[in-house]
A and B are shown apart, each in its own frame.
Chain A
Amino acid sequence: MTGVDVTSGPRVAVTGVGLVTGLGSDVGTVFDALCRGERAIRPVVSFDVAGHRCQLAAEVPELVVAPGLDRSGALAVEAARGALASSRVEVSSLAIAVGATAAGMREAEAVVATHGARLDADAARRLLRYTLSSTIPALRSVVADPARTAVVCTACSSGAAAIALGAAWIRQGRARAVLAGGVDALCWLTFAGFDALGALDPAPCRPFDRSRGGLTLGEGAAFLVLEREDLARARGAQTLCFLDGWALGSEAHHITQPEPSGAAAGRLITLALRRAGSEPDAVGYVNAHGTGTPHNDLAESRALNSALGERARSVPVSSTKGQLGHTLGAAGAIEAVVTVMALVWGRIPPTAGLTCVDPEIRLRLPTVETPFGAEDTALSSSFGFGGAGVVLALRRRETVDRRPGLPEVKVAVEVLDDDRAGDSTLDPARSRRFDWQSTAVARAAQAGTEQCGVAPADMGLVVGGGFGNVSRAVAWLARLSQRGPRAASPAEFPQLVPSAAAGNASVYSGCAGPVLTVFDHGAAADAALHVGAALLHGGDAHALVVGAAEPQDPVVSAAFGTLAEQRAGWLLVTSSALALDRPSVELVAWEEVASGRQLRLPPPREPARARVVVVGALALEPLLTELWSGVARLGVELDSLAASAVALRRGVALIADGGVDEVLVISEAPGRARVTHLRRGGA
């Protein structure tokens, strides 16, 4: 590898924040309440919790849900409006990155409560409206025509993962401004699942306390407006602070338990700081994940001690989960907003609920509001099921840019050898509870690691999700409503999280790079490839297995007979920074175009040696310019939400087999098309 250009890229300015929590939806009011130690934890009122060990949560009171929205959508819209109002950014240029775990699960629960596990076509169609990919259409009243979108799930770190992705887009010049955050409405499935795991404290959550007994759930949403620093400055925007560093990775340890030494989490903290050009002594505040479970809080203390050394004993650390509850997909975003405002206002909120610190936890944990010192950096950490961690490093607006440069990389795409993926058998003892989807992803992870020749620890996964295993969740809910809370299966619950297959595969195969699940309906695999490309370009990953796996699901078949096929397809995607001699199909562009708009892409170099691969019956006019519309087309049947994976593999194979030099793969998402431009390397 010679002559590699190194660039820092534009700095990522945070120019607006908005949130909705159990303590309110005005940032100033919520922050003041947090600093006073107020708590939103109350008996649950929005559904029946009789028979559960825990009766408490931090619900958002008096939420008005507009017609056409579900509760998650209403939370997202309110938080997004707040963020946009505070930033005054030009909405027409906005991209959106959202993290979530439940989307419209609460509304889906009502369908199951009425119909039971056997859903007719009408009920099945209603249920399937509430998928994670519905989060972007829900925001249509706020951002009608987003420039770029992603819905990501990394379980309880989803909101922070979306923010890291949005920041990566800005740093790479792929977006001018991004609305990035997370959302989750409280639902019975999540409540009953965590309760069955014994993870909920019957008393209000007490992070880091010697007598802590688990978490309290909450709900909410939060968004940050991230902007290119130069553009923000040019429009005279307020910069609240800079998001200079972030790190994503996986522990590859256990589906629900954190890795006890905190070593992997500690490495993420170190990496985020290094990428921000900061250091332990410059850290003035850590907003911890701090769920209040015995294992999490101890592992987090060890992670901070290993990453920050001596500084871990003197830097103020706090968790807001004793006040706002654990808001799951929203938590990383709500906590990012709190961390931003702590930097801006110079005030550090306490950990409410904490009275007597666990002697094994070696951190400075103020129980009253504390002034922010002279340091210039603040950290926010998030960790989720399957060990998916995200750390954000924010620096004061007065700081100068000290980020180390990143090499310019190219992204190579190759078809993952299917035979190899099919042959790799899984150890039955270690793959218990894996359904078809988890098995498919775990096999692909193994085969991809082998094909790539890297250590599993250096491999990441980006899995495109469509509807997922809907019937498994429906059956779990039906059993819960028929037989009550004591019959809620604890071992099955983690398998219902939208990121379960990716998490299982990461734990099974030891893949410790970024592990994300990405949702975009019929464009699921393209969406995964597009997220993967941003991670590779930003140096967040060097090798990824990317694709989609969609099971044959009775509920999906009942609703849409045409989407009844079981499909999986995988690509191995690598960064030129790995300096491996990979087959050279290069990913040159990836875009989204709203229906009725035209794609801006350079014309094919030689139309006779180009192809367009289309998923389903998507109309390509007016999407393609004249030069591309004359290119020969191949169709891939939309018989599964993973059909886009089949199309991508075909596109890559066309170039790899010779005869074709460039390919556009086009798939359809609600109201938009995703376009992936592949070209022979060096062509």
Chain B
Amino acid sequence: MSVQDELKALIVTELDIRDREAGDIVDEDPLFGAGLGLDSLDALQLAMAIEERFGVAIPEGEPARAIFASVASLARYIEEQRSPR
């Protein structure tokens, strides 16, 4: 499973999304506001779940905005953090 697909599955289960399946989420679609309609509480929940699943901590505050923009941006951040520097 790709990081993108894992993330989509995580979003659906952790955020208790009942009207969509993981496969319905488009990589580049905005997660917050108009897109999936997620809010700040969802961002916190997702950050916790990502830390548990991928061992990657997402910074709090302003930098989090860009990271949480879409599944694609989240996956990029996770891969960057996991790859050896």
Give the interface of A toward B (CB within 8 A): 196-198, 254-257, 428-429, 431-433, 483, 486-492, 494
Contact = CB atoms under 8 A, between A and B. Distances in A.
Interface residues of B, number: 17
B37 interface: yes
Given A198-B60, A429-B19, A433-B16, A255 B41 contact: yes
Contacts of B62: none
A163 B44 CA distance: 35
Interface of B: 14-19, 37, 39-42, 44-45, 48, 51-52, 60
B46 to A, nearest CB: 9
Contacts of B51: 486
B41 A491 contact: yes
Nearest to A434: B16
Given A429-B19, A432-B15, A433-B16, A254 B44 contact: no
B48 A428 contact: no
A257 B40 contact: yes
Nearest to B15: A432
**Majority DSSP secondary structure for residues of A touching B:** loop
Nearest to A295: B40
Given A431-B18, A483-B52, A491-B45, 4 more contacts: A197-B44, A429-B17, A487-B48, A492-B45
A534 B60 CA distance: 45
B19 A428 contact: yes
Contacts of B45: 489-492
Interface centre among B14, B39, B48, B52 (most CB of A within 10 A): B48
Nearest to A492: B45
A494 B41 CA distance: 10
Given A428-B19, A432-B17, A432-B18, A254 B48 contact: no
Contacts of B37: 429
A223 to B, nearest CB: 34
Contacts of A433: 16
A250 B39 CA distance: 20
B55 to A, nearest CB: 11
Contact of B48 (A257, A432, A490): A490
B41 A490 contact: yes
Contacts of B17: 428-429, 432
Contacts of A197: 41, 44
A428 B16 CA distance: 10
Interface centre among A198, A428, A432, A487 (most CB of B within 10 A): A432
A494 B39 CA distance: 14
Contacts of A492: 45
30 contacts: A196-B44, A196-B48, A197-B41, A198-B60, A254-B39, A255-B41, A257-B39, A257-B40, A428-B17, A428-B18, A429-B17, A432-B16, A433-B16, A483-B52, A486-B48, A486-B51, A486-B52, A488-B48, A489-B45, A489-B48, A490-B45, A490-B48, A491-B14, A491-B15, A491-B16, A491-B42, A491-B44, A491-B45, A492-B45, A494-B41
Nearest to A199: B44
A230 B75 CA distance: 70
B13 to A, nearest CB: 12
Nearest to B47: A490
Nearest to A488: B48
A149 B19 CA distance: 43
Nearest to A483: B52
B52 A198 contact: no
B37 to A, nearest CB: 6
Contacts of B18: 428-429, 431-432
A431 B17 CA distance: 9
Contacts of B52: 483, 486-487
A198 B40 CA distance: 11
A554 B21 CA distance: 29
A432 B19 CA distance: 9
A490 B44 contact: yes
A429 B19 CA distance: 7
A486 B16 CA distance: 20
B31 to A, nearest CB: 13
A256 B41 contact: yes
Nearest to A53: B60
A372 to B, nearest CB: 39
B79 to A, nearest CB: 21
Nearest to B44: A490
A433 B38 CA distance: 12
Contacts of B19: 428-429
A196 B18 CA distance: 24
Nearest to B18: A428
A197 B45 CA distance: 9
Contacts of B42: 491
A255 B40 CA distance: 11
A487 B15 CA distance: 15
B61 to A, nearest CB: 9
Contacts of B60: 198
Nearest to A255: B41
Nearest to B17: A432
Interface centre among A255, A432, A491 (most CB of B within 10 A): A491
Interface centre among A196, A256, A490 (most CB of B within 10 A): A490
A187 B37 CA distance: 33
Q: Which 9 residue pairs spanning A and B have beta carbons closest together?
A: A491-B45, A428-B18, A490-B44, A428-B19, A432-B16, A433-B16, A491-B41, A490-B45, A429-B19
